Structure 1
Amino acid sequence: MTSPITTSSLPEELAPVPATAAPAHAVALVAEVQPFPIAVAGAELEQLAHRLIATRWPHRETAADQGPALDEIRALCDHWATDYDWRRAERFINETGSYRTEIDGMGVHFLHARSPEPDAMPLLLCHGWPGSILEFRHLVGPLTDPVAHGGRAEDAFDVVVPSMPGFGFSDQPVTTGWGASRVADAWIELMRRLGYHDWVAQGGDWGSSVVDAISRRNPAGLRGIHTNLPLVFPTEAEVRDATPDEQRMIAAAQRYRATLDGYAREQATRPQTIGYSLADSPAGLAAWIYTLFQDVTDSGGRPETVIDRDEILDDIMMYWLPNTGASSARLYWEAERDVSGAQVIGAVPAANPVPAGFSIFPGEAVQASRRWVERRYTTVLHYRQHERGGHFAALEQPAALTDDIRTTFRALR
């Protein structure tokens, strides 16, 4: 067993600095939970800049559909090397509340922000790939302190945002078995350990898989869930009976599987192969992740028009600094073998009894109609199709997602 704040899987320069005076957001901690302020050494950031400047670039693409254009990635990496400031993200992590604990032998890093409202509802926020805890940066303030952001005190949440094993500043698994189902068990324990007896959960991407797995365990205290990527796959009968809007959803999913999911197939079959490039080349890592921002945001292939360029780089840094390109990719490999969490495509699973809400964004590859959802969930608290937004909803449309989260869980308070 390792210490609750072990840094054995992190580079030495990312080790936590000693805690000073407790910040205003400090929470009463149980013995197993410890503050974990992030302080990346300046030398690490300088080395990154040198690597970027020394990048050996490929020749220009010969067609527009071959991946991110050379000029786009060069411009992103030039900015990364010369003008980008990591310390902004670092301050957000530390000021929000940065902690570590050990669950099931795995060191877990998480953000924990308490609301000033005494009756706040505990909310677990779950990221996916290539997301991170920083994906929720624009949600934390409005969710924890709605009055300060034009909302109502009765909509306040205490927010917990963990990094999955193999992601961010959590430990990297050294054995197999850490799929979404095991992560779900870990997050149930995390909420119990933090003293939350009644709570709700939200997720997108792999976070949706984790939240779905949590709900199907229906642990004591879980009140409801919300997702912006519904794990709803139409049956052959539903495809035949599809409305025009449902046909559009089916076509979007088919296009994604036919032309955009090459990264997923690589990571599901040979994550270690791509892992060498992701660990050694910041430009390669940037291109690998930027592809997703380009393909599944509601931006017409220009993600910087809907997400600040520095926030895209903040997300990439959550993979570069702790060297989690390979370890995070293995989640796809694990999913191929996670029988306990597998869903049979084309079959309707047993109805989920946990109350649920859904946000459907037009740029998301996987969407579901209300009637598809209602066949799979006993109680649908909220369902909304948005006019704008994509896969990275918390970054693209934070106000809309915040409103949907508040609306979904309002009936459960």
Structure 2
Amino acid sequence: MVHPFTISVDPAILKNLQDRLASTRWPDQVDNEQWQAGTNEAYLQQLCTYWQHDFDWKKQQDYLNTFSHFKATIDNYGLHFIHQKGEGNQSIPLLMTHGWPDSFVRFLKIIPLLTKADENGLSFDVIVPSIPGHGFSDIPTETGMNNKQIASLFAKLMTDELGYTKFMAHGGDAGSEITEQIALYHADSLLGIHLTDIPYHHIIVTDETKLGRNEKKYKEDVTQWQQTEGAYNAVQSTKPQTLAYGLNDSPAGLAAWIIEKFYAWSDCDGDLESCFTKDELVTNITIYWVTQTINSSFRRYRETMTDMMQEMFNPLQKLNPFDKTGTKPNVPTAVAQFQTDLLPPQDFANQFFSIHQWNKMPKGGHFAAMEQPDLLADDIRAFVRTLKVATP
């Protein structure tokens, strides 16, 4: 069952947020001007001051509500999503899945670019769900909401609830993992998939003796990245509950944890606001705060780690969530490689995806739809035009 949804936050929650920001207890800082030890204190103080005194949630809430929001009950789970219809005479359904630590706001800039008709009348019906445990989707109350289960919910949303027999799917970050699971288990419903990341578990679980020189170099790069940038992943995939107590209680702590990733993963060259406005950053953080979903957003990491350990150490168990590992879905796949993302060699990715298009972008980072929405929209359109369904 699908029904319209309007974002509305209790003013008491916003007042409590301002009070907590005002009483922030700041730590010391040594040698961190370039964010080398984590979030820079001066910038975080500036952002939190803006959040407390100048940020207008009501204005942002009104903007968010200009999009068509809905909630669907699927398998007794409440799933929030945007469903924005295309303007063209041929409009292709496109499921777009966000990642972490962003939210459905990742796609707000690109939605109007995709729903607009091109010179041939081609547009997209854009569907942007909030991953379970994120934003305004329900918080799962049991374990087991892994990427495979999320993929099943999204596929049912598209086919059973919205009535699309075939659709395109795009994902970045966690969205790439979920999109891959849709391709593995719901290929009959897909026209094609478009990714900005290749799920990293492939290189981790692949026997190193089977890797070529370029693949080994990529695995070394991934290992180095994990050692220098991956501490968040280690915590969120093993002991997320411990971290959640602090971040669910401190808005400054929550902001620090989230914006450090926007700083490190975007193509901002040391200037965060060259890619994102304060309003964009704070709107995303506020959604995590008012919905109290930072902990539930972490749990997907733990689910993924549990599944990866199953794949690596007990792959023959019947309930293995990666029981199609090694299966290459026959779904046309496009990859857009943005500047700051670490992707494997194309030949390695082609072992797991039917790569039809692989383009390296001249600029942009991990949050491509927010940083370079025009480039990403053009790449999606270019890919869809190569598919027979896209011929007007």
Q: After TM superposition, is the score higher than 0.5?
A: yes
SS state at 1:337 partner = helix
Instruction: Name which of 353, 371, 380 aligns with 1:377.
Output: 353
Match of 1:328 in 2: 297
Instruction: Name which of 374, 377, 391 aligns with 1:399.
Output: 374
Gap change, CA 1:218 and 1:33, over 3 Å in 2: closer
Match of 1:227 in 2: 195
Instruction: Name which of 39, 61, 73 aligns with 1:102.
Output: 73
Matched, 1:271 2:246: no
TM-score computed with the length of structure 2 as normaliser? 0.89
Residue 101 of structure 1, CA deviation: 1.1
Residue 228 of structure 1, CA deviation: 0.3
Matched, 1:176 2:143: yes
Letter in 1 for 2:182: I
Identical residues among aligned pairs (%): 34
Distance 2:312 2:239 in 1: 22
Asked whether the equivalents of residues 223 and 354 of structure 1 are also in contact (C-alpha less than 8 Å), the reply is yes
Distance 2:98 2:271 in 1: 22
Residue 153 of structure 1, CA deviation: 4.5
Gap change, CA 1:39 and 1:183, over 3 Å in 2: same
**5+ residue gaps, structure 1:** 1-31
Distance 1:154 1:60 in 2: 55
Residue 351 of structure 1, CA deviation: 2.5
Q: Which residues of 2 match residues 2-401 of structure 1 at below 5 A?
A: 32-63=1-32, 64-146=35-117, 151-192=118-159, 193-231=161-199, 233-234=202-203, 236=208, 240-242=212-214, 247=217, 252-338=221-307, 349-364=326-341, 366-378=342-354, 380-401=355-376
Residue 195 of structure 1, CA deviation: 0.9
SS state at 1:294 partner = helix
The CA deviation string for residues 49-100 of structure 1, in whole angstroms up to 9 with x for no partner, is 2211111111123455221111111111111111112234322332210111
Distance 1:89 1:213 in 2: 33
The CA deviation string for residues 128-187 of structure 1, in whole angstroms up to 9 with x for no partner, is 1111001001110010114xxxx4344300011001111001110111000111000000
Asked whether the equivalents of residues 188 and 219 of structure 1 are also in contact (C-alpha less than 8 Å), the reply is no
SS state at 1:67 partner = coil
The CA deviation string for residues 260-293 of structure 1, in whole angstroms up to 9 with x for no partner, is 1111111111111111111111000000101111
Asked whether the equivalents of residues 89 and 122 of structure 2 are also in contact (C-alpha less than 8 Å), the reply is no
Gap change, CA 1:76 and 1:252, over 3 Å in 2: farther
Asked whether the equivalents of residues 155 and 410 of structure 1 are also in contact (C-alpha less than 8 Å), the reply is no
Letter in 2 for 1:354: V
Please identify, of 321-330 and 230-239, the stretch whose mean Cα deviation from structure 2 is larger. Answer: 230-239
- Please report the RMSD computed on the Cα atoms of aligned residues, expressed in angstroms: 2.3
Match of 1:27 in 2: none
Distance 1:189 1:242 in 2: 39
Aligned residues: 371
**5+ residue gaps, structure 2:** 314-324
Letter in 2 for 1:167: H
The CA deviation string for residues 306-341 of structure 1, in whole angstroms up to 9 with x for no partner, is 122211111111211100011111111111223699
Distance 1:67 1:339 in 2: 28
SS state at 2:125 partner = strand
Gap change, CA 1:222 and 1:185, over 3 Å in 2: same
Distance 1:315 1:59 in 2: 26
Distance 1:353 1:215 in 2: 8
Match of 2:320 in 1: none
Please identify, of 223-232 and 177-186, the stretch whose mean Cα deviation from structure 2 is larger. Answer: 223-232
TM-score computed with the length of structure 1 as normaliser? 0.84
Asked whether the equivalents of residues 143 and 155 of structure 1 are also in contact (C-alpha less than 8 Å), the reply is no
